[in-house]
Structure 1
Amino acid sequence: MKPSVSSLYQAVELQQEIPPLLIGERANSNGSKKFRELLLEDDYQACLKIALDQEPKGAHIIDLCTAYAGRDELKDLTTLVQMCAKSLKAPLMIDSTTPECIEACLKLYPGRAIINSINLEDGGINIRRVCKAAKKYGAAVVALTIDENGMAMTADEKVAIAKAIHDIAVDECGLRPSDILFDCLTFTVGSGDEKLRDAAIQTIDGIRRIKEELPGCLTVLGLSNISFGLPPKARRVLNSVFLHEAVNGGLDAAIVDAAKIIPLARISEEDKLVCLDLLYDRNRDEEKNPLMRLIDYFSDKADSDDDDSTTETLFPEEQLFKQLVNGDKDGLEDLLSILRERHAPLEIINQILVPAMRHVGELFGKGEILLPFVLQSAEVMKASVTRLEPFMEKNDVSNATRVLLATVQGDVHDIGKNLVDIILSNNGYKVYNIGIKVPVETIIQKAIEYDVDVIGLSGLLVKSAIAMQESMSQYRDAGLDIPILLGGAALTPKFVAESCAPNYPGPVVYCADAFAGLKAVREHEEGSLVSTVYNDVTAIQALKPGIKDSSIDKTHPVPTAPFTGQKYVVDVDPEKLFPYINKQALFRGRWGYRRGKMSAEEYQQLIETKAQPIYEELQHRTLAEKLISPKVTYGYFPCYSEGNSLFVEADNTLHHFSFPRQAEAPHLCIADYFKTREEGGDIAGFFLVTIGDRMGLETAKLYQDNAYHDYLMLHGFSVEITDALAEYWHAIMRKDLGIGQGEIPSRGLTCQDYQGSRYAFGYPSCPDLDVHKPLFDFLKPEAIGVSLTENMQMVPEQTTSAIVVHHPQAKYFAV
């Protein structure tokens, strides 16, 4: 197998079929002025763009260096390594001489990286530590020919140091020869220093001999050092010619700006000749040496070729519009500074940013842009407004439509509400987001205090929908008549139209998502907003007695549980949960990567290039940063059914669970799957699982930092990994009961391919969260950090509970 390195997306062979391997050098705080300045401004996104820009210009690997006096290298490097890991197809070269930084980055990086670099400057202390880390994490290493005496100047010195490094790295630390890329170092031939006249010769000879005398080892070179001090035009040509000569000598890889390398066939014979004379120190005469001839020769051809220069062809107004639509924050501050000389800040917002954000919304509505990219655009909008605010008059935003948002009392879920906040606030509206678990009295008080134009209420579960219904008369009695927008998974247009709107004098509007909320606010501004009219066939059903289903077989045997009572498990291995994650639900439902108008091939490419890499990065981060702490409380309990009820015996107490029945055929009810007392009774399993509160804290921080895209990704991942924990523990319990082997469920449209079911409390087949009262009595989840709100919802949010039904006919259904 050929020696390779890899990113999340691809493997790259270190020995290219047509050498050399090109390693991009511009994301380097010591080598690129632009990168350094962006790093000093903490503009990590712009730093990432410099790394990204090198890929289409031919770089196979991206060198990343953040070492700079006064900076926290560990923070800078780990931050950018994580960003590069999920964005770059090209593998990374982690450029640091600090073992702590190197090890921290190797833990985070999901591919096979190259470490740059090791040497013998300290006699071999650091090299052993770094090589052991490289062995542990499977990395390759760049080895510089440096020892206690300094940098090797001659080919003999370069080879001797390379052999000493080889002995430590291979014989002592266990690396393979192909894991080492020796950098023979080159010095400039452009300084006029007599000691460096043969620098290129010694370097090329060192490369050739290392390849011969250390079989299997590879070579690399920081190419541009050869031309340091020369004019840009001369440097570009000299670097290109030197690269060709070094490759002929056996060079495998070059650290270089790939965009500045000229194919040898495009270099004139005259240009080549003058460069070769300097590199090989030949054709010296009394009047001019090779260096002076090269400088004179290129003086007439010299042009400005600054690595950090850019040319902008769009007007600044067009550029800002384009950057917002593309979700690109690069150079935003400079662009806004230019625009402030032409426009007042409010004009920039209203005439450029808001129309651009509106265009993003139109693209989303047409299915031409997906939610993750909408959030990237919103980040540009937020960053722009933040930079403009210091230059705005206080009354500039006083006329903006004011919207109050809240998650209703007892409900801890805020992802939907926060997405509405992001979309509205970045479309020019003033949003008061007053949080979760907000009582009706507080909502009324704040609505009056802030003199808002619209109220938006959110809630995930059926209990929250009922709370919205019951609160309508309170808003009416408080004298409010402004529009109220309602959103949440349990709501339907029918429920809002028939159960909520009649009890309130103003418009009551069902909003399926954040953009429906945006549409409703705009309609209010236009004076065309009206209450939702029912045009759906679904509705929230009350807990009706219904007709008992007589088709459930009660002759099946009751399995034997391994124990009765309750137990805790607090050492679940997080890595075991990943196979149970429903990636289809995560990518399409939580993250919004839907096919829309794309072909199957285009959608598959989107998943492979966008969703899957983020998913893999979050898997890696979850383990590396210990973001989840899976804990379980569960048990098996004697029980019997009676009508729509299940009676469960635990701790010498009989606990009552009441379940709803379908109003329409086949009139299913969870209680039907258990035997009655007369039929001999039954056994029921219950569990409650949580991944802890760390994920919730991390998502809250991302939201506060206006990192909207990453907020959506991490929140969605946290919800699905919680469900994966539930699915994993359900598999354990099926195995306990002898009705399964701990199998991983399929995740297609017919996802249930095993005996029995788990019914989560708060969801369609058992929506009444009051059952959490008896559940908490005998599962005692407080010991694993879970508590109940006054509305019977569990905290932390990333927690779920369920009853485990063993009956062979038990399938998922909704009431």
Structure 2
Amino acid sequence: MPLPTQMAQQLSKRILVIDGAMATQIQAAGLEEADYRGARFADASGALTGCNDLLCLTRPDLIKGIHRSYLEAGADIIGTNTFNATPVSMDDYGLGHLVEEINREAAQLARGVADEFSTADPTRPRFVAGSIGPTRATLSLSPDVNDPGYRSNTFQEIAAGYYQQIEGLVDGGVDLLLAETVFDTLTLKSCLWAIAEYAERHGQAPPLMISVTITDRSGRTLSGQTLEAFWVSIQHARGLASVGINCALGPREMRSYVEELSGLAPLPLTCYPNAGLPNEFGEYDETPTQMADVLGDFARQGWLNMVGGCCGTTPDHIQSIARAVHGLPSRNVDAVTPEPLARFSGLEPLTLRPDSNFTMVGERTNVTGSRRFARLIKSEDHEAAVEVARQQVEGGANIIDVNLDEGLLDSEAEMLTFLNRIAAEPDIAAVPVMVDSSNFAVIESGLRCLQGKGIVNSISLKEGEDAFRQQARIVRRYGAAVVVMAFDEHGQAVDIDGRLQIYDRAYRILVDELGFSPEDLIFDPNILTVATGMEEHDPYARDYIESLKQLKQRFPRVKLSGGVSNISFSFRGNDVVREAMHSAFLYHAIQAGMDMGIVNAGQIVVYEDIDAELLEHVEDVLLARRTDATERLLNLAERFRSQEGTQRGGLDDTWREEPLSQRIEFALLHGRTDFIDQDMEEALGVYDGPLKIIEGPLMDGMNVVGDLFGAGKMFLPQVVKSARVMKQAVAYLEPLMEQARREAAERGDAGRRKQIVMATVKGDVHDIGKNIVAVVLRCNGFDVTDLGVMVSADRILDAAREVDADIIGLSGLITPSLDEMVHAAGEMDRQQFDIPLLIGGATTSRRHTAVKISPAYSHSTVHVSDASRAPGVVSQLLSEDAADFIEANQEEQQRARIAFEGGQQERDLLSYAEACERRHRAVFDEGRFHTPDFVGVRATSPGLEELAELIDWGPFFHVWELRGSYSALLESDDAKGAQARELFADAKQLLEQIIAEGWLHAEGRYGFFPANSTGDDVIIWSDESRQREWDRYCFLRQQRRKRQPDAAMLCLADYVAGEQSAIEDYVGAFALTAGLGCQQHVDRLEADHDDYRAILLKALADRFAEAFAEHLHRQVRRQWGFGAEEGDLSLEKLLQGEYRSIRPAPGYPACPNHQDKRQLFASLDAEQTGISLTETCAMMPAASVCGLYFQHPEARYFAVGPIGADQVEDFAQRRGSDLSDAEQALSPNLSYDPKKVAIPEGV
């Protein structure tokens, strides 16, 4: 619902100002008990002090005076004094019966004062918002820690109380309803229900403003939701006119959340924070000027439509805020255009994008489908029942289906109890819930327990259109999505036409009549059991799959689902056959358009792993390929019925005879941990406490390590081993450390080592290099706080403040990380840090640091190229002579910027049109092209021992900064060669352990797709008829002028036959990982203080992934029909690419757009491998590779290089994206600065 007309008009011109705190002003009045009682309540039992809402009846003069003071200060909107005026709160004072009266009187008081000001200045109308607080009830949380399923109030009770409040507020004349300080979304939902009820009875309700409270820097509400999950949960609210954030935090702490919500919500945004965080006395210290400065900056950033103050703010605060935003434009709401996507939520949001993986709905929390779960529910073993839900989530379920329909159960009560219990488990509550029942009363009981946006399973036309409409309206009022079954008045649809007819009716009613978004609909066309022995059942699976294709074409925005286990009921008790049926069915159904399914997430076998004979028989049944398919599968099934579903030795120890300090130094230098605990125990009897041991022999030994490393006499692998010894020694001493620290502090000689905070930036998961740098710095006497991967700028800076950091270090591997580093540098500047910033990682460079990152931060920014240089750089930055080093670095960066600017102007680029004219004219003879063995997608999971034979060891040694040919390294007689041999031996030993003990698991998916090029795009066709475009890759073309005047300007599309060509060309794609299982072993090794083997393991996982890529490419060439031509290539020739075909990867020089990974993942359903993409398209696990295959014999790798604004504009048009988004995605390749006028490209 839009805001009131006058208010909307004002918002189009300026930012509106909300008033400040009511309670702060009441407290300042110094009231006594008599003020609260007045004459009317003089004889009331119990104290009334603190019942501020009652003052609307007993001290209306005071409340009107507060309203007037805020309007005089510049407020446009005043809130009624009704924050606690609901029965839940007023019953504490015995005044619950006065709720409607208090709200009505409060609204009339505010209305009267607002109208006075509006009359005095008609050009500036004032508005009244009816304040609706969160009550003290928590419907999502139990008030009893011993009973997580208990709630002190029901949803219906809270909704009924809110209804009374709303009636009073509307009767009193409010312009708006303001549900504020929301900390529990389910309690808010009860308020939304009451508002919808009021509107239904009275024809309409005032527009609604919602303001949520983020309780701390975790970015979550008190009940655990993220901001995005909250927004998804409340978008359905009737009459929703604005959304915002208030209370709990001061404006500075609120910054990132306001920015986030501004990008999420296509509605006016409100922000009214507290006057800072409360001090130790519960008071608020932020001055009006301080608060106004921050909120003024928010306004200049374009984040605000309405702004004001909450706890601790006064008319002085509001006056300063009003001045700060005066003349600044209101946020452009129309600029926020969310994609029409299916969105659900638990504590976390779940968004189903076009490139999303198949969505798993866990089926085991269903009493009709799981005998174990049914037994646990019946025996009231709720704790074990909750574990069933947890196992589903851990097994990969994106949503959990909960069904408690059983004849002997009180299903309504059981649904409420179970959902309340899992709400107390953050790992389970993170995912959305599908409330499943054939009894709509049970469904409604479940919906009253969900703070997130859940899914109803299900409704249908079985009882006619009127009943269908009634149930659908209720579902929509709760804000849930809905599954619609293929039933109507005539029963269950079993054929294609019957399904289409039912869904045509359902869609018309739900979307056209009732206003459902198509994205909130899930059609379940009924998966029916096959192989029953009844001939009429034989086509059920085939017809379901064909129905999916037609439904997806007819209703492209609706999701398609089904209960997968239904297909195999005929084979209950034979898990092998059932799992094969489920996986084969899903394989075909997903290709046909199935988006989600109710499955046992932990029991899906890999399609490629199904026994070939069994798969043939299963698919004969599913696809109805033979009349005797059922009988053949029954005979074969008997064969599967009994099967189940799926220290150093020999070293010279004479060093142990040396004195203690020398033994410690030896252990550090040689990475020996076998005696370190024993030596630390002995040291405790020699040195004066654990700190003296650390500051003495341990640091003496590490200093020797640092000196030798700096002199090139020790190598990185040795240093990491030394750090492992140091960490284990410190861990042994740690229990005694705290007391020693306290004693040293009392003596005033505790000292302080320099603090460095390091992190891999948000969106990036690569950390081997960062971990090595951290180890090297620790070895050189620095304290390093390593925050890990995917770390936001806010978290980095918070940690830096917490430890009083001397330096911050940022790392990243993928190109989008560069933008995040610029953002982090800008945040350091905005938050007035003055410590050095270090930049490192494979994608970083001195030039980029100088040109992009350094200008964002007013203080020193230094690029560090490798780990060996880090200690020297850090030491110089923290030395007495730091100013000289910083000045020299800044001068070098200034020269780099000047050179870059000059290079931009002098850069000799062809126009994009001319570059296209000079495209590579590849020869497309039909005889040179091959048709692959199959079209579509397959899974593959080779053994590690097979991959180990293809490992390229060169990059492994580069990780450890041992450069050169690895064979030459191993043969070298110098110290570097000796270190390389020792490292290689350690790697081989760990590699054998990885294979023998199954530490890592490799999974991949690959496929072939009909394709043709058009211009610089490659079209992927939906099938071999090549009539319907399924996807499109938009590639880039070289523009930099080459020395040879006739040299071609290359683009990957040049290697694919044109759309008008007679050649039937294909493109391949792959995504693979060898990192599954890696992190748990890394965590274990790090917990054992074994950084060396942890880094070694990550490096080997990367090598396995690259070997997997080589292995799969060889297999693909053979399946494409030309691999046999190459014979048995040696490993050396394989690694040098001496074969036909290339496999460029998104984010690399020939294909620099990381966003292409999203299309690639969607085409392969790549998340089935266990790989996922971060928001910046980094792959998790890090040991993962993806790319495209091109078969043209002339195809070769190349670098796109710098491109001009003309190509970027064309690229954005081709992809249908904003120019700014395209420029951000391609920023490393831009030949111009998007913030400046684009330099005309050489035409």
Q: Normalising TM by the smaller chain, what interval?
A: 0.5 to 0.7
What amino acid is the match of 2:695?
Answer: N
- In angstroms, what is the RMSD of aligned CA positions? 3.7
1:618 counterpart = 2:990: yes
**TM-fit CA distance, 1:743:** 4.6
SS in 2 for 1:393: helix
Task: Name the CA distance, whole Å, in 2 between partners of 1:749 and 1:496.
Answer: 36
Match of 2:671 among 307, 327, 330: 327
Q: 2:931 aligns with which of 561, 576, 583?
A: 561
What is aligned with 2:1161?
776
Whichever residue aligns with residue 634 of structure 1, its letter is Y
Displacement of 1:684 in angstroms is: 1.0
| Structure 1 residue identity aligned to 2:773 | V
| Matched residue, 2:1053 | 671
What is the letter of the counterpart of residue 702 of structure 2? M
Contact 1:586 1:716 in 2 (8 A): yes
Residue 1013 of structure 2 aligns to a residue in which SS? strand
How big is each residue's C-alpha offset from its partner over 1:259-289, in whole Å with a ceiling of 9 and x where there is no partner? 9xxxxxxxxxxxxxxxxxxxxxxxxxxxxxx
Matches within 5 A, 1:552-701: 552-557=921-926, 559-562=929-932, 565-589=935-959, 592=962, 600-602=972-974, 606=978, 609-650=981-1022, 652-664=1028-1040, 665=1042, 667-680=1049-1062, 682-701=1065-1084
The aligned counterpart of 1:353 is: 698
- Quote the Cα distance in structure 2 between the aligned partners of 1:550 and 1:767: 18
State the partner residue of 1:500.
853
Partners of 1:258 and 1:715 lie apart in 2 by: 28
Aligned counterparts of 2:650 and 2:1030: Cα–Cα separation in 1: 74
Contact 1:745/1:751 (<8 A) preserved: no
Shift of 1:805: 1.4
Query: Distance between the aligned counterparts of 2:879 and 2:722, measured in 1?
Result: 25
Q: Who is 1:734 aligned against?
A: 1117
Q: Which residue does 1:485 correspond to in 2? A: 838
Q: Give, in angstroms, the shift of residue 774 of structure 1.
A: 1.2
Whether 1:422 aligns to 2:792 is no
Provide Cα deviations, 1:242-268, integer angstroms capped at 9, x if missing partner: xxxxxxxxxxxxxxx999xxxxxxxxx
Specify whether residues 472 and 680 from structure 1 end up closer, same or farther in structure 2 by C-alpha distance, changes over 3 A only: farther
Match of 1:795 in 2: 1180
CA contact (8 A) 1:565 1:650 kept: no
CA distance in 2, matches of 1:508, 1:382: 30
Q: CA deviation at 1:590?
A: 5.5
CA distance in 2: counterparts of 1:476 and 1:802, whole angstroms = 38
Contact residue 715 and residue 979 of structure 2 kept, 8 A: no
Aligned equivalents of 1:725, 1:538: Cα separation in 2: 39
In structure 1, how many angstroms separate the alpha carbons of the residues matched to 2:754 and 2:980?
40
Kept in 1, the 8 Å contact 2:933–2:1121? The answer is: no
Query: Residue in 2 aligned with 1:514?
Result: 867
TM-score, L = length of structure 2: 0.38
The alpha carbon displacement at 1:403 in A equals 1.4
Distance, in Å, in 2 between the alignment partners of 1:316 and 1:749 is 52
**Post-superposition shift, 1:748?**
7.0
| Deviation, structure 1 residue 375 | 1.2
Shift in Å at residue 478 of structure 1? 2.1
1:576, distance to aligned residue in structure 2 (A): 2.1
Using the alignment, how far apart are the partners of 2:1061 and 2:988 within structure 1? Answer: 50
Q: State the 1:509 CA deviation.
A: 1.1
Residues 488, 644 of structure 1: alpha-carbon distance in 2 compared, 3 angstrom cutoff: farther
Q: Is 1:409–1:436's contact at 8 Å kept on the other side of the alignment? A: yes
Deviation larger for 322-331 or 479-488: 322-331
Aligned residues: 511
C-alpha deviation, 1:386, in angstroms: 2.7
Tell me the alpha carbon deviations over residues 137-193 of structure 1, each in whole angstroms, 9 at most, x when there is no partner.
xxxxxxxxxxxxxxxxxxxxxxxxxxxxxxxxxxxxxxxxxxxxxxxxxxxxxxxxx
2:724 to 361, 379, 391: 379
State the percentage of identical aligned residues.
28
Distance in 1 (CA, whole Å) between partners of 2:810 and 2:1022 is 38
Change in Cα spacing, 1:439 to 1:743, as seen in structure 2 (3 Å) is: farther
Deviations 1:602-660 (A, max 9, x none): 57974895244334433432332122332221111222334443332347544232334
> Measured at CA, do residues 401 and 465 of structure 1 come closer, stay the same or move farther in structure 2, by a change above 3 Å?
same
Q: Does the Cα contact within 8 Å between 1:403 and 1:452 map onto a contact in 2?
A: yes
CA distance in 1, matches of 2:824, 2:840: 14
Residue 126 of structure 1 aligns with which residue?
none
**1:78-111 per-position Cα deviation (integer Å, ceiling 9, x unaligned):** xxxxxxxxxxxxxxxxxxxxxxxxxxxxxxxxxx
What amino acid is aligned across from residue 1102 of structure 2 in structure 1? V
Does structure 2 conserve the Cα–Cα contact (< 8 Å) formed by 1:578 and 1:724?
yes
Aligned partner of 1:645: which letter? D
Structure 1 CA distance for aligned equivalents of residues 980 and 969 of structure 2 = 17
Deviation, structure 1 residue 662: 4.1
The residue number in structure 2 matching 1:406 is: 759
Change in 2 beyond 3 A, CA 1:538/1:589: farther
CA pair 364-813 structure 1, distance change in 2 beyond 3 A: farther
**DSSP-derived class of the 1:526 partner:** coil
Q: Which amino acid aligns with 1:573?
A: G
Superimposed CA distance per residue, residues 301-331 of structure 1 (whole angstroms, 9 cap, x where no aligned partner): xxxxxxx997866443333233322223343
Paired amino acid for 1:525: L
Alpha-carbon displacement from aligned partner over 1:457-476 (angstroms, at most 9, x marks no partner): 11111121232134322321
Q: State the shift of 1:788 in Å.
A: 1.6
1:805 counterpart residue number: 1190
From 370, 381, 387, the equivalent of 2:715 is 370
Identify unmatched segments of 5+ residues in structure 2. Answer: 1-648, 1202-1243
* Residue 712 (1) aligns with residue 1095 (2): yes
CA distance in 2, matches of 1:620, 1:612: 12
The answer on whether the counterparts of 1:372 and 1:592 sit within 8 Å (CA) in structure 2 is no
2: CA distance, partners of 1:334 / 1:576 = 42
**2:716/2:960 contact within 8 Å kept:** no
* 1:345-403 CA distance string (max 9 Å, x none): 43443344334323323323333222211111111222232334414324476622121
For 2:1097 and 2:975, how far apart are their aligned partners in 1? Answer: 22
Aligned residue among 476, 488, 498 for 2:829: 476
Q: Distance in 2 between matches of 1:776 and 1:416?
A: 27
> Of the two structures, which has the highest relative contact order with CA contacts closer than 8 Å and spacing of 6 or more?
1
530-539 vs 567-576, which moves further: 530-539
Comparing 546-555 with 442-451, which one deviates more in the overlay? 546-555
- Residues 591 and 713, structure 1, Cα contact 8 Å, conserved in 2: no
Query: 2:1141 and 2:650 mapped to 1: Cα distance?
Result: 59
Worse overlay, 502-511 or 355-364: 355-364
- How far apart in 2 are the matches of 1:671 and 1:603? 49
**Alignment partner, residue 741 of structure 2:** 393
- Does the 8 A contact of 2:1074 with 2:1184 survive in 1? yes
Secondary structure in 1 aligned to 2:1144?
strand
Deviation at 1:503, TM superposition (A): 1.4
How many Å apart are 1:477 and its aligned residue?
1.6
Structure-2 residue corresponding to 1:165:
none
Deviation at 1:598, TM superposition (A): 9.4
Deviations 1:9-53 (A, max 9, x none): xxxxxxxxxxxxxxxxxxxxxxxxxxxxxxxxxxxxxxxxxxxxx
Q: Secondary structure at the match of 1:485?
A: strand
Letter in 2 for 1:759: P
Deviation at 1:587, TM superposition (A): 3.5
User: Equivalents in 1 of 2:679, 2:956: separation in Å?
Assistant: 36
User: Following the alignment from structure 1 to structure 2, what is the Cα–Cα distance between the partners of residues 309 and 650?
Assistant: 68
Give the letter aligned to residue 700 of structure 1.
D
Q: Secondary structure at the match of 1:691?
A: strand
- For residue 630 of structure 1, give the secondary structure of its aligned residue in structure 2: strand
